[in-house]
Amino acid sequence: MRIMMKIYKKILIISIFLIAFLIPIRVETAPWQIEMEIGLEKLNYRFKPYVQEFIKACSREGIAIWVYDTWRTKAKQRALHAQGRQPIDIVNKLRKEAGLEPITEQRNRHIITRKLVSPHNYGLAADFVPIVDGKPVWNDARLWEKCGKIAVRLGMEWGGLWKYLVDKPHIQMNRWDKFATFVVPDRIIRE
């Protein structure tokens, strides 16, 4: 319950920001700068412009979105990968090591990521959710389709088109493994 309250508070603050600053009344002729979006500063410099354009394109279509996850540490990816595959005590131990809150047995029944090595580990992926009336909308297929088409049109890969473990909130750089950089030691991961 405490975790949900924190999430709702963050969503409310971000929603207010999105409504006030990112949804233009008219399309501006000059490109805008997106400075305060959560986590965009940790995106790979090659992928960040795609996400910025995605936010603007969704806004022009009347869709507010919240980017809630971008770059991940190896520890966080390992913990998320264990979810749904390992017993709850192991998952929660890994989550603790990654600085994440523990989850329940019920939440541990679901696999939430396909790979131990993810484009998130290189700042080449982002997870988002559409916001309607200040609340995240997880179950509107039409809205997800609209967002997914925008992402694909901009040259990104959308997890909603995957055949195995469909991941509608996920966008990533096409052929991300060709852009993964190895200059940051914490981002070097091998399966």
User: What pLDDT, on the 0 to 100 scale, is given for residue 115?
Assistant: 86
Compute the distance between CA of residue 117 and CA of residue 102 in angstroms, rounded to an integer: 22
User: What pLDDT, on the 0 to 100 scale, is given for residue 41?
Assistant: 86
Taken in order of first residue, the domains within the chain and their CATH numbers are 2-24+37-71+120-187 (3.30.1380.10), 74-109 (no CATH)
Angle (CA) 43-49-51 rounded to 5° is 70
Per-residue pLDDT band at 8 (split at 50, 70, 90): low
Q: What is the mean pLDDT of residues 66-81?
A: 93
Q: Please, what is the average pLDDT of the chain?
A: 82
Q: What is the mean pLDDT of residues 132-153?
A: 95
What dihedral do alpha carbons 161, 165, 166, 172 form, nearest 10°? -70
Q: Enumerate the H helices of 31-163 as residue ranges.
A: 48-60, 74-82, 88-97, 141-153
**Structure tokens, 22:** 């990112």
Compute the distance between CA of residue 181 and CA of residue 20 in angstroms, rounded to an integer: 35
Q: What is the mean pLDDT of residues 121-142?
A: 93
User: What pLDDT, on the 0 to 100 scale, is given for residue 23?
Assistant: 43
What dihedral do alpha carbons 181, 186, 190, 191 form, nearest 10°? -120
**Structure tokens, 84:** 């749904």
User: What pLDDT, on the 0 to 100 scale, is given for residue 176?
Assistant: 85
**Which of 60, 6, 65, 61 is CA-nearest to residue 39?**
65
User: What pLDDT, on the 0 to 100 scale, is given for residue 126?
Assistant: 95
Per-residue pLDDT band at 178 (split at 50, 70, 90): confident
Compute the distance between CA of residue 182 and CA of residue 191 in angstroms, rounded to an integer: 15
pLDDT digits (tens, 9 = 90+) for 92-119: 999 999 999 999 999 999 898 888 889 9
User: What pLDDT, on the 0 to 100 scale, is given for residue 175?
Assistant: 85
User: What pLDDT, on the 0 to 100 scale, is given for residue 14?
Assistant: 61
**Structure tokens, 123:** 């700042």
Name the helix (H) or strand (E) containing 84.
none
pLDDT digits (tens, 9 = 90+) for 18-39: 444 444 433 333 333 333 445 6
Any idea what DSSP says for residue 133? T
Q: Is the pLDDT of residue 3 over 90?
A: no
pTM for the model stands at 0.71
